Amino acid sequence: MTTSAIDTLSINLALPTEGVHPPSAALYDEAEADRLAFWATQAERLSWAKPFTEVLDWSEAPFAKWFPDGKLNVAYNCVDRHVEAGNGDRVAIHWVGEPVDESETLSR
pLDDT digits (tens, 9 = 90+) for 62-87: 999 999 999 999 989 988 998 899 98
Radius of gyration of the chain (CA): 19
48: enclosing H helix or E strand? strand 48-50
Span 16-29, pLDDT tens digits: 556 667 888 999 99
As a whole number, the mean pLDDT across the chain is 83
Q: Is residue 6 part of a domain?
A: no
Residue 100 domain-assigned (yes or no):
no
Give the range of the structural domain holding residue 41, as residue numbers without chain letter: 29-83
Residue 58 belongs to some domain of the structure: yes
**How far, in Å, CA of 45 to CA of 40, rounded?**
9
The total domain count for the chain is 1
57 assigned to some structural domain: yes
Report how far residue 67's alpha carbon sits from residue 41's, in angstroms, rounded to the nearest whole number: 12
* pTM, rounded to two decimals: 0.63
Is 19 a member of any domain?
no
What pLDDT shows up at residue 15? Answer: 54
Nearest by Cα to 36 from 51, 54, 50, 19: 54
Query: How many Å apart are CA 13 and CA 30, to the nearest integer?
Result: 30
Residue 7 domain-assigned (yes or no): no
Residue 59 lies in a domain: yes
Q: 9, 31 in Cβ contact below 8 A?
A: no
